Structure 1
């Protein structure tokens, strides 16, 4: 059990070492998208993804944005408002 847990932990650390964000992707301007825009963009993600397949001007994620707060709002929009948590919580017979 401990051996399996240590392998999972090492794999997670190795994958997280690959994660980075470009400085040009984060802006602190008053007009750059923050938490609320991230929440909205996460909520409309399924429709924007479908639209982005047919129109290159449609993006599913705003860049530049305010960084962590935008990401948090986007995550909440996709999981909570977008139905991610709802579909996983249904009882199975």
Structure 2
């Protein structure tokens, strides 16, 4: 059992090591969305996603953005503010 988990984790780490963000997606300009915009975009993600199904001008993720800090804010917005960690931590009994 442990060997299967170790192989799976190892493959996931190896695959994620190949991940790279496109240079055109990251901007060093001061006006590029950063952490706080990422947090907000993550929080409104469910509504933006529904809107994007009906309107091609609505996007759920800002490109270009400031890079890692925007991504971190987006992740926190989805998981913490969006209720992801709250609903995942409820006990079932």
Class of the TM-score when normalised by the shorter of the 2 chains: over 0.9
- State TM-score, norm by structure 2: 0.92
Computed over aligned residues only, the root mean square deviation of the Cα atoms, in angstroms, reads 1.3
CA offset at residue 85 of structure 1? Answer: 0.4
CA offset at residue 10 of structure 1? Answer: 2.6
- State TM-score, norm by structure 1: 0.92
| Alpha-carbon separation, structure 1, partners of 2:83 and 2:2 | 35
| Alpha-carbon separation, structure 2, partners of 1:63 and 1:83 | 24
For structure 2, the 5+ residue unaligned runs are none
1:45 corresponding residue in structure 2? 45
CA deviation profile, 1:8-35 (whole Å, cap 9, x unmatched): 1232124314422001100011111000
1:33 corresponding residue in structure 2? 33
2:8 corresponding residue in structure 1? 8
CA deviation profile, 1:21-56 (whole Å, cap 9, x unmatched): 001100011111000000000000000000000000
Number of equivalences: 93
| Alpha-carbon separation, structure 2, partners of 1:74 and 1:26 | 15
| Alpha-carbon separation, structure 1, partners of 2:18 and 2:52 | 26
